[in-house]
Structure 1
């Protein structure tokens, strides 16, 4: 009787064989999505082979029953390496074929890394961490564990037959391409992590596996509800010219959904009903082509709540719509702590947190661009765990032009993989389409892939604003505040969008004593706080009460809100177009005015993308004054936007490939280079005087260590706003852990992501409380303001909900 886990509640034991079979079964179901059931199943079957050793069994028994007599410290007994070593010894020798070696490398890396990050096949130190672990690490009782595995779990003959099937799957999938190999390795790793954690969670909570969702029937029901909703809108104001256009574009999405999966563009102008039109495409396409989920990717957390709630209300389904803003749990795994993870036999309260279901297994998901890119490139098993669930999806990118410049190549490679191998259909939604197909790592868009017909005519028909260029002379905050106060009575309401949080805060302080209410929006506020502010703003707009709103660009993407006037600090033309989408949005006035200013006090030295975009926009504004016909007489035309992005990507060409300055290498070359293009391999062969022994040469761990979508690393902190206090109270109680998944989901509404300098400042002021050795952080009362959100001065005044 070999034990995998002992349940804390009742000391029940899970047999190792049952755990391995359970994880293999889940891995097979996950891997089957790409025709790799046995490749993934092999990882599941072998991942805990090391637990067959006497050392591990003694360690587990003593940890549970005799902690005072424990011979081994937590994590000291390595059970993760043995399975990878077995596969390597069997299938990575001179006599083995290239596909057998690839299998040993891909599956072996997943196995040895399932408590950390994928290992480097070769590192910047010109060493192979993978080979060190799989060949050189001392594993006492390895032979004994292997013998027991082939006795208790599977015979050696049956094992080799299973591997033969896995090899056939790999041969059908692989074309020996390093880019494809990287994504395949991550996919198998994702299958294993999710299967292992899911099986462990089910045992620990004594839960049963959920019944599989019948996706086709569900999406059919959703589709009917959406069509019913659209029909009701048509009855109300369907005869208005703008609404006729919206309806036509929505119907074009319905028709286009019958085309095979691919990468398409949906360039509906701002205010054209993009969210529901794209949902209509997704629901129809998902039914026709057997997709398992629909994933909305948005640039900012600000708009997740609004879009998700709108969709929930229409589909009348709360449970199956997941909002994923950010990771509430901070997951840092050090190499020397390989065993200090879930599945180490018995679980602490801290470790149960990591088992909470957070794997994107819902049919409809709203998440951010940061979280999407983290799935493919960031460290932390919690990120990678979600990858296999991205396959067989319709993925809708809202405001795709917001992809950070340094991530463009990585973004394009991920989408190409999802299209070509993971059975995804991808929709790029924005009125300002970037020219992603014109860069080095080009995006493989479909020819004639624009859904909206007669796009130029539609854009002209949706013109609702004039762009008023007032950027010739820089303007300071005091002068700007004076101008707004002079005009607000005539304007009635105005939205001011500046490029930096400090400039926004300064202007807000100058305007606080205005004769009308003043609102401030910032990423320093949690999602629930921003939603509350936006609800108040919408209420004042409906009642036509004069007011001022000052904010950063977070309001530009997808927030359904309409002001009489908009002031936008000079930035990229796409940002100005998005700001214009918040002015006269529904065409109530003949034309609204969007004033473009040059704010004198903004420091853009650390915001290169905005700085470059500002320069290119300045040139386009100047050219437009001389030759407006080049841009169809409209600064927001498709021609103007195309000219802007072609120039932008030309100027930023060297910045499109995520550069890791610490190792002097581009991220794509760290992960996806051919052997002959990898300088590490060249140095290794000179140093060793022999051919590099592995087929793969990616520096997976190094790349993950340095990958950040946002330049500065951020740390999630739960704040005491509204029900955030209740969440914090539950975290401090002993009875919340059984519903950790639900609590963590709720916590996202009350979480703020802080830059490391902000976090460190608050820590020094004793304003941060850590839980579970720094896995979850909370902000103390007095450090959160009703005006600004997180208050670094500790002068926050907040009225808290009672509970």
Structure 2
């Protein structure tokens, strides 16, 4: 007999955490997460059973050997402790004649349990096999009976367990019968992922608290915190009313829209739109709504989701300056540490470097969070536990999608399904915030918008009142090459103080910069090849020239056009989607301090858009609308950026991509919606299984969660986040990450590292490796560039011949 069954051994002092203590503590944490959507006992069941397999002599011997021989431990994952809890549910609830709710409960919770060191398994895959059944029904577990007996002896009696399961079944029935536009399969997919999220976060939070020998900090009173934030915001707004230009027409209109947002906060949680024109004060107005709504409805956090990391940097800085609280505001740019494939890398009770990385990854429990659209979609659909761990914290939240028109076309249906779930079950409010609202209710899998959901009244008149530029159509005349464009830019900088050029690809941005950098006017370059800290430094220099009304030229990819608070006298935009033209126009005469200024739309002949089909399609539709206006100047209300023109643009745009809105997976000749949500009658894998086996698969859920996740990537050609040696801080950060440290220290370093990372596509990563431009950190979980692979002007240099000493930065 084992004296005490141990779940973990602390690295610092060799203290042990009992299996019983760990299971009960994780259950309590998981219950708290489950409570938010009415599934307290379902989530708690996953928590209390997830490490049932540690109640075996085999695991205890494995743990003892791993602690005794840290330099030569047993093979990771050689003892399976994650299957037993799923087996117990399958044995107790899934035998005999099909019984709808007990069977589904075993399938949902069992999958979460067996997957808690990797990712959710397929109930049925393309090989017509069930990875779920292979684990919970077919796999040999030699000490399962003994482990089960110890669980009922130490943790819960059989009577307590039966009562607990009964409550979970009741919750499941209530969940599935709640009115919702989502199908049963969609509801079950989101429930499984939510329970998995609750389990992953509870398990890792409890393990981290044990390893650090610190109790988990109780969640602070968010209402009191938001009350304090609201008071600070209102003082800032009142201070603006004392400015000399407070009575200008634009500032009066900004003030009125801000007040409308506060009044709208009284409405119950739902999906709403906020269509403040560019330059209309969206950040302050949306924060005013969010704080008031959070206070009135008991929301736990406010989350800003933006398309580009550049907007995170600016908007977070704006909010931080108003609230005066850096500690409660999280900027989450990207995942610096790579998840990889964690299969068979089971945590073995010791806290290793890899385990520290898992424990250190953020779970989005901060009161205010800024992150990207990629990170939001990855939470729901990407493989890897680092992402899905955050899902439960998207409930009871105000989530503001800034520049929501940037949702990739292939992700529209998945985006809509996620928001519908958060509205119906998560009790969250979802705000679609942009000057150019996409028609998300026009597509087949509609977003369930709340009735009369626009916060701003008389929108057409508001758009006209904010007119500060004229759009000059050069695109339907003749195309420009880089040399001709350089001459055009030089001509315009002779007429005005500042010019912004926005092009569609990094290659032509770099080429134009090279043609202009020797001019006697300061010229700056911006692209996503530069890390956030580098871009910020360039933007700060640009803003200083603008503030001093000095001559300046900035050449950028589209990263500058959405949400970056800069105002140029003249903007030149390469032909693209109408929403991009509108966003670019928002960087010209932004505050209306000058008379009407010009935004020139040109067609750049050298842009290769073969890998950018959405930009290419948007460019084609915008050209048609420009041609319409040339033939009939009164069409679309006589304005290229009118509400009517924008509606025409998005309807035609989505119609052109109708066949791919459900995220097509070409390799499988299926789409994501089918893999995740198809019912039994239309699921082709299930039909093939029945045909080949002569019987139905003995499961209620037949979808392929892992297969879908393996094929999901928001941006084509999956990129890897790589640290860059930009300046002393970037180089010091790389050196620190290469050493050992506490979990808390590692968490802080990984957050800081987001400012010093760039996303590198696979072909670029391969080229860097060939040129010896990469160094591996933290057991291969983090990559960093060598100094020669980062250029002081352009950023990432895959050829590795930048030849610059970055110590001067």
Contact 1:23 1:192 in 2 (8 A): yes
Match of 2:470, SS? Answer: strand
Alignment of 1:398-797 (within 5 A): 398-471=402-475, 472-722=477-727, 723-735=729-741, 737-796=743-802
Contact 2:792 2:806 in 1 (8 A): no
**Inter-partner Cα distance in structure 1 for 2:119 and 2:666:** 21
1:21 aligns with 2:24: yes
**Inter-partner Cα distance in structure 2 for 1:559 and 1:36:** 41
Structure 2 runs not aligned, ≥5 long: 178-182
Alignment of 1:121-520 (within 5 A): 121-175=123-177, 177-236=184-243, 237-335=245-343, 337=344, 340-342=345-347, 344-471=348-475, 472-520=477-525
Post-superposition Cα deviations, 1:519-570, rounded to whole Å, max 9, x if no partner, equal 0001011111111111110000011111111111011110010001101001
Post-superposition Cα deviations, 1:711-756, rounded to whole Å, max 9, x if no partner, equal 1101011101131111111112234654111111111110111011
- 1:40 paired residue number: 43
**Inter-partner Cα distance in structure 2 for 1:13 and 1:773:** 26
**Inter-partner Cα distance in structure 2 for 1:393 and 1:486:** 50
Match of 1:452, SS? Answer: coil
Contact 1:493 1:563 in 2 (8 A): yes
TM-superposed deviation, 1:245: 0.0
Structural RMSD (CA): 1.4
**Inter-partner Cα distance in structure 1 for 2:620 and 2:162:** 62
Post-superposition Cα deviations, 1:190-223, rounded to whole Å, max 9, x if no partner, equal 0000000001101111122112221111111111
Post-superposition Cα deviations, 1:234-290, rounded to whole Å, max 9, x if no partner, equal 111321110000000000000000011111111100000001101111100111111
**Inter-partner Cα distance in structure 2 for 1:702 and 1:199:** 30
Q: Measured at CA, do residues 798 and 274 of structure 1 come closer, stay the same or move farther in structure 2, by a change above 3 Å?
A: farther
Match of 1:675, SS? Answer: coil
Post-superposition Cα deviations, 1:637-671, rounded to whole Å, max 9, x if no partner, equal 11110110011111111121100111110100100
Contact 1:341 1:351 in 2 (8 A): no
Contact 1:62 1:69 in 2 (8 A): no
**Inter-partner Cα distance in structure 1 for 2:342 and 2:668:** 20
Task: Identify the range of structure 1 (484-493 vs 414-423) with the bigger mean alpha-carbon deviation.
Answer: 484-493
**Inter-partner Cα distance in structure 2 for 1:294 and 1:318:** 15
Contact 1:327 1:716 in 2 (8 A): yes
Contact 1:349 1:737 in 2 (8 A): no
From 87, 91, 95, the equivalent of 1:85 is 87
Q: Measured at CA, do residues 738 and 452 of structure 1 come closer, stay the same or move farther in structure 2, by a change above 3 Å?
A: closer
Match of 1:782, SS? Answer: helix
Match of 1:367, SS? Answer: strand
TM-superposed deviation, 1:627: 2.3
**Inter-partner Cα distance in structure 2 for 1:268 and 1:167:** 45
**Inter-partner Cα distance in structure 2 for 1:773 and 1:124:** 33
- 1:101 paired residue number: 103
Match of 1:59, SS? Answer: helix
TM-superposed deviation, 1:793: 2.5
**Inter-partner Cα distance in structure 2 for 1:430 and 1:349:** 42
**Inter-partner Cα distance in structure 1 for 2:461 and 2:637:** 11
TM-superposed deviation, 1:416: 0.5
Contact 1:516 1:547 in 2 (8 A): yes
**Inter-partner Cα distance in structure 2 for 1:675 and 1:628:** 54
Match of 1:125, SS? Answer: coil
Match of 2:603, SS? Answer: strand
TM-score, normalised relative to structure 2: 0.97
TM-superposed deviation, 1:623: 0.5
**Inter-partner Cα distance in structure 2 for 1:470 and 1:133:** 63
Match of 1:295, SS? Answer: strand
Aligned residues: 798
TM-superposed deviation, 1:152: 1.7
TM-superposed deviation, 1:628: 3.0
**Inter-partner Cα distance in structure 1 for 2:743 and 2:735:** 13
Structure 1 runs not aligned, ≥5 long: none
From 52, 55, 77, the equivalent of 1:52 is 55
TM-score, normalised relative to structure 1: 0.98
Match of 2:667, SS? Answer: coil
TM-superposed deviation, 1:802: 8.5
**Inter-partner Cα distance in structure 1 for 2:70 and 2:223:** 51
Contact 1:659 1:665 in 2 (8 A): yes
TM-superposed deviation, 1:341: 3.9
Match of 1:528, SS? Answer: helix
Contact 1:467 1:596 in 2 (8 A): yes
TM-superposed deviation, 1:325: 0.2
Contact 1:583 1:594 in 2 (8 A): yes
**Inter-partner Cα distance in structure 2 for 1:121 and 1:733:** 41
Q: Measured at CA, do residues 158 and 736 of structure 1 come closer, stay the same or move farther in structure 2, by a change above 3 Å?
A: closer
**Inter-partner Cα distance in structure 2 for 1:110 and 1:285:** 33
TM-superposed deviation, 1:66: 4.5
Post-superposition Cα deviations, 1:323-348, rounded to whole Å, max 9, x if no partner, equal 0000011001253x1xx244x21121
